[in-house]
Amino acid sequence: LVLRNANFDPQADLEVCARPAQAPLVMAITAGKPQRTLAEVIDAVKRNPRDWNIAITSLGAASHLATIEFNRRTGLDLEMVAYRGTQPAVQDLMAGNVHLLIDPSFNLLPHADGGRMRMLGIASRERSPLAPNVPTMSEAGLPGYEFQSWYGVWAPKGTPGAIVERVNALMNETMRDPAIVARMSQQVLEPVTETVAETRAFIGREINRATELLRSVNFTPE
């Protein structure tokens, strides 16, 4: 979807085994803006759209997809400021050079108490145990708005099903280990335990949604 000359198809050329971890996306606002809630931000942007912009960490990334959907769901047309990576986008958000950013929780939540940005909502079905005081985007006013950055484990195409299932079982067992869960929490990651079929279906939905969103803005792969 993002690379014009990608030399493989992750669905056709690989066997999915597991999805061991995810990080819900979080919407943050620079501390220089007075708005405290998502509703206040949406109202302010509607009244003065030229006074607002939103960073995206790279074209085609989760940040970009989530921002396209945010604009679509709210009816806004926030100016997108594209960066080549997370660090410069976060730095500019903290400096007030950009006003909003939607990005994985592990990139934003560590800055939650630093006084230079505030969290408006987390794009997960339930509040994250890693940030229990941050409302879900549904609670904040966008029902069903859910985006995650996630990690997958794949094997070469043609790997026997028994091996794929064994890898899945081992990954799920690992993700239930309290010591592993604690280490992941330190990295602002949430463990995931799914069957192979559930992971395959999830990835299919993610690819379909990403395709639709990128086509809606006439995105051209690089």
- pTM tops 0.75: yes
Predicted pLDDT at 138: 97
Predicted pLDDT at 213: 95
Question: What are the pLDDT digits (tens) for 1-55?
Answer: 555 566 777 778 899 999 999 999 999 999 999 999 999 999 999 999 999 999 9
79 and 97 fall within a common domain: yes
Q: How sure is the predictor about 121, in pLDDT bands with cuts at 50, 70 and 90?
A: very high
Predicted pLDDT at 220: 82
30 and 101 fall within a common domain: yes
Q: Is 22 left (phi over 0), alpha (psi -120 to 50) or beta?
A: beta
Question: What are the pLDDT digits (tens) for 180-207?
Answer: 999 999 999 999 999 999 999 999 999 9
Q: Is residue 127 part of a domain?
A: yes
Question: What are the pLDDT digits (tens) for 148-164?
Answer: 999 999 999 999 999 99
As given in the structure block, the two tokens for residue 64 are 């970009």
Question: What are the pLDDT digits (tens) for 48-107?
Answer: 999 999 999 999 999 999 999 999 999 999 999 999 999 999 999 999 999 999 999 999
72 and 105 fall within a common domain: yes
Q: Is residue 221 part of a domain?
A: no
Q: Which residues 6+ apart lie within 8 Å of 108 measured at CB?
A: 26, 28, 90, 101, 117, 119
70 and 89 fall within a common domain: yes
**Whether the predicted pLDDT of 120 surpasses 90:** yes
| Interatomic CA distance for residues 219 and 1, integer angstroms | 9
91 and 167 fall within a common domain: no
Predicted pLDDT at 1: 52
Q: Are 52 and 30 in contact (CB under 8 A)?
A: no
Predicted pLDDT at 75: 96
Q: Is residue 105 part of a domain?
A: yes
As given in the structure block, the two tokens for residue 190 are 């949430």
Tell me which residue range forms the domain holding 185.
14-20+149-216
Domain count, the chain: 2
